[in-house]
Structure 1
Amino acid sequence: MVFAGKRPHNLGVCDGKLAACPNSPNCVSSQSADPVHQIAPLTYTSTPEDAIAALKSIIQSLPRTKIITENPDYLYVEFKSALLGFVDDVEFYLDRNTNVIQVRSASRLGQGDLGVNRQRIETIRARIM
């Protein structure tokens, strides 16, 4: 894939935090403080185990997705665009201390994303509630 780019090496949870967004506007994160990148975490009312299972089911129902890493409190997923195969790296961290799922969705290449990363998280949010 010409537009897939290389998988980042800075992903995952470190001290309860996902990687910070780059300066480019093609990333959203529930742990970001600045308004360009900030997005609300996902909330759930079920058990944490049921919440992550529901999230996984929603992700698998979306087109062109591939779960790369999965553990009880974390999912790392690649989403591929239909037209040119651009890849977005999306992470979900179930924070048991705050009972929310922290999210980070970032384009691998380029600057802008036409709001795709934000829209993806909002689509998932609408389905998980």
Structure 2
Amino acid sequence: MQQSGFSVERSIAFLLGIVLLCWTGAVAPAMAQPLLPLHPIPLATLEMAMSKPLFSFSGKRPTNLGVTDGKLADCPGTPNCVNSQAPDTDVQHKIAPLSYTKSPTEAMTALKGVIQGMKRTQIIREDENYLYVEFTSALMGYVDDVEFLVDPSAKVIHVRSASRLGQSDLGVNRKRIEEIRAKFVQKNV
């Protein structure tokens, strides 16, 4: 959307730059007047602009995802991955699966509802007992690959969440799975 020759994104970037300059003391707030008049931006437009990352460090989609012999892929040696099927001795990557009490179909429906209610998600693949979702970070556009696999005999949904790029994720993948778990439990599945 264009306004007076400036895009919404450029207007937001300009305002963020002024805020940063004021915050660091590089410019006094009185000097932080825009050179060109700014027009009011509707809230819905701001929300839409902020829903997309400013950068895109998405990397390439991994080729080792999916289910092999009833298991999700192992985590790499980096700390930016969690997996409920990791050995108990692998405390860096181990996380509990999601438990459910109703049918596997009801559990997957509830899980899909939780995921669709989260921001910057895209369901890539959905089967009866498997769900693969990409989560994109707000600022830098990093993509995490998250998989869910129903184990009907144990009444659990195994999870694997891994960053595509980098070494550390500052605990983001573990926090995301715990957030999903909390919302999933609220659905009384």
Partners of 1:22 and 1:52 lie apart in 2 by 26
Greater radius of gyration (CA)? 2
- What is aligned with 1:52? 108
Match of 2:96 in 1: 40
* Unaligned segments of structure 2, at least 5 residues: 1-54
Distance 1:97 1:15 in 2: 15
* Unpaired segments ≥5 residues, structure 1: none
Q: Distance in 1 between matches of 2:160 and 2:84?
A: 7
**Which stretches of structure 1, 4 residues or more, deviate above 3 A after TM superposition?**
none
Name the counterpart of 1:14. Answer: 68
TM-score of the superposed pair, with normalisation by structure 1 = 0.98
SS at match of 1:63: coil
Q: How does 1:69-84 map to 2 (within 5 A)?
A: 69-84=125-140
Aligned residue for 1:6, secondary structure, equals: coil
- Is the counterpart of residue 91 in structure 1 residue 150 in structure 2? no
More helix by share: 2
Deviations 1:17-44 (A, max 9, x none): 0000000000000001100000000001
Give the TM-score normalised by structure 2: 0.67
Counterpart residue number, 1:63? 119
CA distance in 1 between partners of 2:56 and 2:82 (Å): 24
Q: Distance in 2 between matches of 1:7 and 1:23?
A: 18
Equivalent-residue separation in structure 2 for 1:128 and 1:47 (angstroms): 14
Aligned length: 129
**Equivalent position of 2:77 in the other structure:** 23
Residue 2 of structure 1, CA deviation: 3.8
| Structure with more contact order per residue of length (Cα contacts < 8 Å, sep ≥ 6) | 1
**Partner SS, residue 119 of structure 1:** helix
* Matched residue SS, 1:92: strand
Greater share of strand: 1
Taking a change above 3 Å as real, the CA distance of residues 91 and 74 of structure 1, as seen in their structure-2 partners, is same
* Most deviating of 90-99 and 19-28: 90-99
Identity %: 64
2:178 alignment counterpart: 122
Tell me the C-alpha RMSD between the 2 structures: 0.8
